Amino acid sequence: MTTTPTPPHPTATVTGHDDTARQALTPRDPAASAPPAPPAPPVPNAGSYNPAATTAGGMAGELARLEAQAALSFDEELSLLRELGLTASGGPLVEVGAGSGAITRRLSQAMPDLSLVAVDIDPDLLAHAEGAGAELVVADAADLPLETASAGYVLLRYVLQHLPDPAPALAEARRILRPGGRILVTEVDASCWGLAEPAYPELAGIHAKMAATQQAAGGDRTIGRRLTRLLRDTGFTEVALRPFATTNDTRPTDDFAPHLGPGRLQPLLTAGVLSLREFALAADRWNRFRADPNAWVMLLGFTAAGTAPDAPPGGRHTPEGIQ
Ligand SMILES: C[S@@+](CC[C@H](N)C(=O)[O-])C[C@H]1O[C@@H](n2cnc3c(N)ncnc32)[C@H](O)[C@@H]1O
């Protein structure tokens, strides 16, 4: 698959490679002990994705969070992707918004015959996907330097929730997919993030502030409920939605720290969105939760899939594909 940018394209090719703090309870974040790094400015066009404002510990903290988040639910997600049509021979798979390659690397290990392309708008983050088993491309999801009808799959994981308008990114995904190719979108919805027992209703105001902060930055933490409609509106057919659950029945409660811990709250405290009292409350509840041997948590994610129709917009059909 060719990934040559077309000048004057505002992208560059690198060779070689949400969301989703659903609920924040606190600290025990691996990033908490990392040396403080100066906050990086947000990457233009990355929507509400701004680790400096959402994750403690700068780049090191964000890498740890993305890694822990992928480790937590990859097995469930992979079996769902297979159920929704992912096969090793049906590639290439273009992972748009691949970030540090936490999922890319796992996909490559689980399906070594699947050809992978990892795309992200943030070159610094994408550089960490070097060696993940994919070709790396720095580009905006809404303007991909990839050929029409050249991909078998497009995967967007925890990316759409950050975009002020997901439609251009979905249209680009449709353009680069071969007829019959599949789009796979993994997301959350803040209103059904999951269940925890014991529950702490006193944290509801904190969670609402987190969602409002993302919304104010152009994101949408309730995008889960819109996924199938967004795919149909883009022209995808055979649209399906599957939930996946991750519980502490099969993994330690501490593995849920990226979602439930306070790592995501620290920047909100710094920005004055949360008070010290709120932060301390969340930290206390997380510490109570993780110390309780009977505590149970289930996080819910969603994967939506759709099929690219026969006639992609733009491009000309040949037996070999689109030119
Ligand atoms: C929450 S991270 C998810 C990373 C990766 N998908 C994962 O699950 O580990 C969101 C990613 O989307 C990327 N992103 C945000 N806006 C983008 C855009 N307009 N085009 C391409 N990537 C974008 C960010 O740079 C970031 O890497």
Give the model's pLDDT for residue 17: 32
How far, in Å, from the CA of 159 to the mean position of ligand 1?
A: 5
Query: Mean pLDDT of successive 10-residue segments in the chain (323 residues)?
Result: 32 37 30 44 74 72 91 96 97 98 98 98 96 98 98 98 96 98 96 92 91 85 96 98 96 91 85 94 96 97 96 47 37
Fold type of domain 12-35+46-308 = Rossmann fold (3.40.50)
Give the model's pLDDT for residue 215: 84
Residues 6+ apart with CB under 8 A from 77: 103, 157, 186, 244, 301, 303
Residue at 264: amino acid letter: R
- Whose C-alpha lies nearest to ligand 1, atom 25? 122
d(CA 92, CA 135): 10
Buried b (16+ CB within 10 A) or exposed e, 253-264: bebbbbbbbbbb
How far, in Å, from the CA of 72 to the mean position of ligand 1?
A: 18
Give the model's pLDDT for residue 1: 39
Give the model's pLDDT for residue 47: 78
Measured in residues, the chain has a length of 323
Total-model pTM: 0.84
Give the model's pLDDT for residue 95: 98
Give the model's pLDDT for residue 310: 83
Give backbone dihedrals phi and psi of 156, rounded to 5 degrees, phi first.
Answer: -125, 110
How far, in Å, from the CA of 156 to the mean position of ligand 1?
A: 8
How far, in Å, from the CA of 141 to the mean position of ligand 1?
A: 9
Domain ranges of the chain: 12-35+46-308
Q: Which residues line ligand 1 (CB under 6 A)?
A: 18-19, 45-47, 49, 66, 70, 97-99, 102-103, 120-122, 125, 140-141, 157-159, 162-163
How far, in Å, from the CA of 205 to the mean position of ligand 1?
A: 27
